[in-house]
Structure 1
């Protein structure tokens, strides 16, 4: 569709202005074919060392919320080479970050230009995602002819060797293994390319990739070489997902102009092919300047993904351009959500836009909005983490106004996603009649760039703020570092909430707790005596009782 071409055009124009420095994170086809781990286009500093954490589906905080446990969510900010392409720490607070890992299942490094179409995720983002249990896939992009794409470029990529194999397939797998990311998103939008050869390539890529590596295809190119967005799984594009007995992709990203009837037919066709409906990632173009599923301006599309109210979904979800809260410039229909990309003082509105996307208009995943935008988490499940002990979080999100170590300020503004901690599972829910305002505090940090600040919304009873869903099991030692008013406690699982010492300075509270093998919540409890704010600077959990 023309909208899809326009979206790609914006990414092309933005990306083309950035020259490669040193070993590039974006390769030409020729560089892909000649790439070796020790070659000039390889970067040893971009190798991710953090494995993907194990996860599980957390129980809903509100039993009235009917999520579909089989739905998966792909998150694809447009132009990650610009948003996240820094390979080292930078002295800038207002760079792009993401924290709602518990609400997504896959992060796509969506980017590409007409000349550099093989896009490699940066180490910091891969390590942050893996720490939170989310795989990351790179992108292979072939641009529309109108924007510099060429069938010749695709042909060079689809070149076969003397045995009839595709060297590009083995190279893509080699690169992903070397850098430690988790697969590829293939987006071919070049009209006139050899679609039949591309199907063979996709089948080989899926066959040579390890089972844990995921391969996605975008709904654009057809077997006859035309680019016609189907906005559904149809007989015209089905071979790019399943070609007879050949699995050509693990999933297909459907373009954005879908209809409910088309999705119903897509789910039925997937079943006939022996595939799951959840292998179809239904595209949602959230960029507010476009008209498909603009953020918060059209909210009924999420409900349209269900078979019936409260029922199963017709597929998984692909969130495209969800970074609108960071860099959408505003227009006559939708004002800017934040100025954070150009004004580091506007950080609260930046975080609010992402929180609203997942939790809905209430900003509380335990209290869905009866009308308006319900939030992605009202349909898709939320995942907890099975941590390797010791588990420690200082609630660092990947940037800070200050840099701290053990309560001491050691530096100024910074941005480095490799330093991001495991993020709270729920951002942020309040259980009980009393309301609490919870947010990241970038003015006060114990270790890293931020802490969590809890502010009671007036006097009242008891409030519980669940932060993490973990699986632990056995006796553990818990350490909490906090500062602020009296009346707060930290609870691990179903045990007794341990009071946190009231103090104007950072104070450490340490105790032993017994946890079960099932889901364990780490929660802050605000008693009726809690009147002043609390900052929680760090929580650590070690195996055994070490007091």
Structure 2
């Protein structure tokens, strides 16, 4: 965004809480922090946010001026020294590799060492850096010319062979796609190693809110996509009169960016693969890494009543765009800097795509929520979709709300919150209203199954009367698997009678 290394470069960042934040990690395989510096080391905030979501990060090695690359390619020894230095940077700062972007003409005499550099960097990164990857940007050809090919072909395929993949320049057409596929087939390589570029600013191809057309072509042919400059959703707000340079941030800028960003990602989402969350325990307070204030248990945290921007504080984010279902709400939060404000009261909607394997044990679900205004007739459910591990065609929906005991219907179960105490080790969210901010409530639920199951979706259903103006906020979600032996030991603390869900598994 804007060349990068802005306020995001600081460890504690800034008070500019409306600045560009990335939240759609579940669609991303690799995140590249790009700048026009010679060696770009991703800042700690971006590394922490990406890694929390399981996404590898690559920095950028870019050469745009004459002379500098000549030093690297002068001898085999200088190549090895540079590879050693770049690999050590990955290990020291904790990122996974490099995008190599050579944007200068390379003398023919240096081409063998340029190939050597890419090969050695790839091998060293792969062997010494966990999940290490090196990608080549389509720029220089086999003759050393700076001539973007916009495709994979015989002129740049040697770099493709020596790296983990190639990021193709964004000025491609259908012919480039066809020839790239043919070249990949010759290499006996899967197409997903070819990342076809999309520039969100619309250089060469349609971008902005028309990006779906290009993304659809990429997906239809089976290639991966390399999305350039998604910061477009923030940077272009100045075209509409928003002041995106205010160092303290502005509420209007923040709201406009979040809405614009969600809308853009929602449009291209059908072309993307969604990676599920797979590890328990699972917890999120929805903080995007910024806020007008910092909250703890629904109260402003002591000494934290000022704006902050710090991506290291970003919590796990929804797996799908929130567009028209909910918004990140900065007026108050249960924890962190924001909560989710529900905007869709007509139907249930998904928040998280999950792949939680639950063996013989008990599923614990907890969440914090708040109803603003007259709550009469307003019901809030957290939905959990469960399938037997032996039969994914069968599914069961748990409605975690406020019901009378446990009510069962075909393929559905309706649960009431626990009133009993939980062991201290499992109290991620405090329930005592005396310790919570006004209006916040915390609920816990237990569900026991008769065999191994898989939790595959978590969503929300909020109902209110047609004339109601009440609004619902979701402040945190917590999911954990409790071992049966722990429950037996703590039976006096967690009585399961009337709280069990026994799910029949048919062959």
Partner of 1:540: 478
Mark the CA change 1:304 to 1:337 in structure 2 (over 3 Å): closer, same or farther.
farther
Contact 2:75 2:113 in 1 (8 A): no
- Please list the CA deviations of residues 495-532 of structure 1 after superposition, one character each: whole Å capped at 9, or x if unmatched: 43122699961111112134754352111112355842
Aligned 8 A contact 2:62 2:101 in 1: yes
Residues 13-36 of structure 1 show CA distances to partners (whole Å, capped at 9, x for unaligned) of xxxxxxxxxxxxxxxxxxxxxxxx
Task: Say yes or no: does 1:468 pair with 2:352.
Answer: yes
* 1:196/1:223 contact within 8 Å kept: no
Q: Which residue is 2:153 aligned to? A: 234
The residue that corresponds to 1:88 in the other structure is 12
Relative to structure 2, which stretch is displaced further, 405-414 or 536-545? 536-545
The 3 A distance-change label for structure 1 pair 356 and 337 is farther
Is 2:101 the partner of 1:187?
A: yes
CA distance in 1, matches of 2:313, 2:81: 36
Question: Which residue matches 1:420?
Answer: 314
TM-score by length of structure 1 reads 0.72
The answer to which of 532-541 and 153-162 deviates more is 153-162
Q: What do residues 190-238 of structure 1 show as CA deviations (whole Å, max 9, x unaligned)?
A: 1235333211110111122225211000011123221000010111111
- Corresponding residue number in structure 2 for 1:441: 329
Post-superposition CA distance 1:393-445 (Å, at most 9, x none)? 1000000011111221122100110110110111227xxxxxx6411100010
Deviations 1:47-99 (A, max 9, x none): xxxxxxxxxxxxxxxxxxxxxxxxxxxxxx56232363222242231222111
Deviation at 1:339, TM superposition (A): 4.5
Q: 1:161 to 1:240 in 2, by over 3 A?
A: closer
CA drift of 1:293 comes to: 3.1
Distance 1:199 1:301 in 2: 31
1:523 partner SS: strand
1:327 aligns with 235
1:271-282 pair list within 5 angstroms: 271-282=185-196
1:528 & 1:450 partners in 2: Cα distance?
Answer: 23
Contact 1:495/1:513 (8 A) holds in 2:
no
Q: CA separation in 2, counterparts of 1:527 and 1:94?
A: 31
Report the counterpart of residue 218 of structure 2 in structure 1: 305
Partner of 2:113: 197
CA shift at 1:476, angstroms? 2.5
Unaligned residue ranges in structure 1 (runs of 5+): 1-76, 144-148, 243-247, 307-311, 361-374, 430-435
Which of residues 452, 455, 458 is equivalent to 1:522? 458
* Alpha carbons 1:199, 1:223 under 8 Å: kept: no
Report the secondary structure of 1:269's partner residue: helix
Any runs of at least 4 consecutive aligned residues in structure 1 with deviations exceeding 6 A, and if so which?
A: none
More helix by share: 2
The residue number in structure 1 matching 2:123 is 207
User: Of the candidates 372, 382, 399, which is equivalent to residue 497 of structure 1?
Assistant: 399
Question: CA separation in 1, counterparts of 2:285 and 2:80?
Answer: 46
Look up the match of 2:365: 478
- What is the SS of the residue equivalent to 1:473? strand
> d(CA) in 1 for partners of 2:50 and 2:242?
24
CA distance, structure 2, for counterparts of residue 206 and residue 517 of structure 1: 40
Give the direction of change, closer, same or farther, for the CA distance of 1:381–1:438 in structure 2 (3 Å limit).
same
The structure with the larger Rg is 2
Aligned residue among 349, 354, 362 for 2:256: 349
Give the aligned partner of residue 391 of structure 1.
282
Which residue is equivalent to 1:400? 291
Whole-Å Cα distance in 2 between the matches of residues 200 and 181 of structure 1? Answer: 22
Q: 2:444 aligns with which of 477, 486, 510?
A: 510
